[in-house]
A and B are shown apart, each in its own frame.
Chain A
Amino acid sequence: MNGPDELRPAASPRATRGGYDRPRFLWAVTASVYLFLYAPIAVVILFSFNGIKSLQVLDGFSLQWYETFWNDEELRESLIASIQIAAITTVVATVIGTALALGTVRSGGRTGSWLGILLLIPLVTPEIVAGVSAFVLFAQLGVHLSLTTIILAHITFSISYVVVVVRGRLASLGTDREEAALDLGATPWQAVRLVTLPALWPAILAAAMIVFALSFDDFVLSFFTTGETPQPLPVRIYSALRFGISPTINAVGTVMMLVSALFIALAIALPRLLGRRESGLAVLTGSSR
């Protein structure tokens, strides 16, 4: 019922000829954008299964580049390091970010609203600025660069994402149920634990999955905060790329895409699986009001 038809003018088809109501032209543009977006990715995936060591000709199917990836101890360590970084970052950033969202939305007054605005700054800070500042902090503190420094930097720049996603959901909840809980004799902590948090779960989970994907994928921050070994996968890919492109990198890239896609799919699907009747996409884009 909500199809495009109702949007078309009731006037004669003539009226739609010029201008911006020509879906055919618009669809053509849109289709080429999809092609532009997916063609390079498709090439990487296809050539990761190539039977020969070529980046120009496809010949046969093999998993040899995945084998090379798996048998390369450095690459395998990097993969594990990336997963560790992303997992720890996700847990810490989600807890801190959710608390911040609760604090900024629910505490009235200036502190909350000012902090709410300040929290957006990390989101618009160019990654290179973030990377350089993290680098100089650890350098001045004399901290040896390692997985820990990467995790600390990742958490810092993930908190704001959690706040934004959870805050959207929280604002749309209202305080009625919390007040009802208090009237029924709950302590404030119980009200948060038993009423507010359960209602926030879809947004919290969606935020967590986004943070995992972002952290797993991050290159610039990791580049500035990584130690010698093990380096996270994107940094390892970057070093490898300086020696030219190779089929093994295609396999690494494909695995990374799979992991990202998995977590984004979870971000979108989990809220729905939890029994809420809205998709994670709506939770993420804040259009669920």
Chain B
Amino acid sequence: MTNAFWRRFLVPGALWLAFFFAVPLGIAIAISLGQAAEFGGVIYGFHPENYADALDPLFAPILVRSVGYAAATALLCLVIGYPVAYTIARFGGPYKNALIAAILLPFLINYLVRTYAWVALLADEGLLSSVAGEPLGILNTPVAVVGGLVYGYLGFMILPIYASLERMDRALIEAGKDLYGSPRQTFRHVTWPQTLPGVLAGSLLVFLPAVGDFVSAQLLGGPDTYMVGNLIQQQFYGADNWPFGAALTVVLMAFLMVFVAFFLRGGRAAERREALA
């Protein structure tokens, strides 16, 4: 069958995504350069000061905090998720599929409901406080927000690491042992490099949604733990400053795209180094 025949299949989807994905991003960029109209809405123009506002000392800490929380989340997910993926892949035996499905199931449950579940547990009038006999006072702290993010995105770390462990040729571990590598050495020189692509993919899949998250900070945090997502949401609901909200959105998107580019390039370089070593 000819390429021309198959190319027809691309038309509806390409048009759809152009109109509902690319065009809106363009509109968001145009709005980010406009001026806020009263009661929401926008007067188009060229006002780059919206971007200056985003980096204003008043708001810059929120951007930095979002990146910091997301990085902490990715790191925690890696530290918690790797052993889990490793245990299931290597020692799960015939129960592997069931075990990994049991890991994934909670992540397919509504994120809002799951975050709410933590509110019910951690709130001062919640279950853990009554077990402890005193109010926990843990809500509205960074611990609660980052904890909520880890709970929200841990599955995105475990699945790619598990997949890369599964793809790995296990004979390599045997070979490492036959060559008198200690388990630690075998892990460091054989398993870890082989699973690096999974670790990188997982870190990205956790970091990206975590930076823009606003549910965790909204429900588990307070004004001191607001993230950029909360700030953006406020501009469209309440503050009625669409251009500023759009500028923040564009900054977030641009930061993430640059981040992805560098991250992937760094990952490839690391893989090459490992391959040479």
- A→B interface (CB under 8 Å): 2-4, 7, 9, 11, 15-16, 18-21, 23, 26-27, 29-30, 33-34, 36-41, 43-44, 47, 55-57, 96-97, 99-100, 102-104, 106-109, 111-112, 115, 118-119, 121-122, 124-129, 132-137, 139-140, 152-153, 155-156, 159, 163, 178, 182, 188, 191, 213, 217, 219-220, 223-224, 234, 237-238, 241, 245, 249-250, 253, 256-257, 260-261, 264, 268, 279, 281, 285-287
Residue pair A245, B116 in contact (C-beta under 8 Å): yes
Residue pair B252, A126 in contact (C-beta under 8 Å): yes
Report if B1 contacts A (CB, 8 A): yes
Among B23-31, B54-62, B265-273, the one that faces the other chain is B23-31
Interface members, chain B 19-66 (any A CB < 8 Å): 20-21, 23-25, 27-28, 31, 41
Residue pair B87, A29 in contact (C-beta under 8 Å): yes
Q: Shortest 10 CB-CB distances between A and B: which pairs?
A: A126-B212, A19-B183, A40-B117, A103-B9, A133-B24, A107-B6, A100-B13, A103-B10, A137-B24, A19-B184
- B→A interface (CB under 8 Å): 1-3, 5-10, 12-14, 16-17, 20-21, 23-25, 27-28, 31, 41, 80-81, 83-84, 86-88, 90-94, 97, 100-106, 108-114, 116-121, 123, 125-127, 129-130, 151, 154, 159, 163, 166-167, 170, 173-174, 177, 182-184, 186-187, 191, 204, 208-209, 211-215, 219, 229, 232-233, 236, 242, 245-246, 249, 252-253, 256, 260
Chain B residues near A132 (CB-CB < 8 A): 28, 232, 236, 245-246, 249
The answer, among A3, A257, A279, for a CB contact under 8 Å with B93, is A3
| Total contacts A-B at CB 8 Å | 276
Residue pair A2, B28 in contact (C-beta under 8 Å): no
- How far in angstroms is the closest Cβ of chain A from B57? 23
Given A107-B7, A137-B20, A234-B112, A40 and B183 contact (CB-CB distance below 8 Å): no
Q: Determine the distance from Cα of A102 to Cα of B5 in the docked complex, in whole angstroms.
A: 11
Question: 17 other contacts beyond A213-B108, A260-B108, A261-B109, with CB at 8 A cut-off?
Answer: A2-B94, A41-B114, A44-B113, A55-B126, A103-B8, A115-B14, A126-B253, A128-B233, A136-B31, A137-B27, A159-B13, A178-B1, A219-B111, A245-B123, A256-B113, A260-B109, A264-B104
Chain A residues near B118 (CB-CB < 8 A): 40
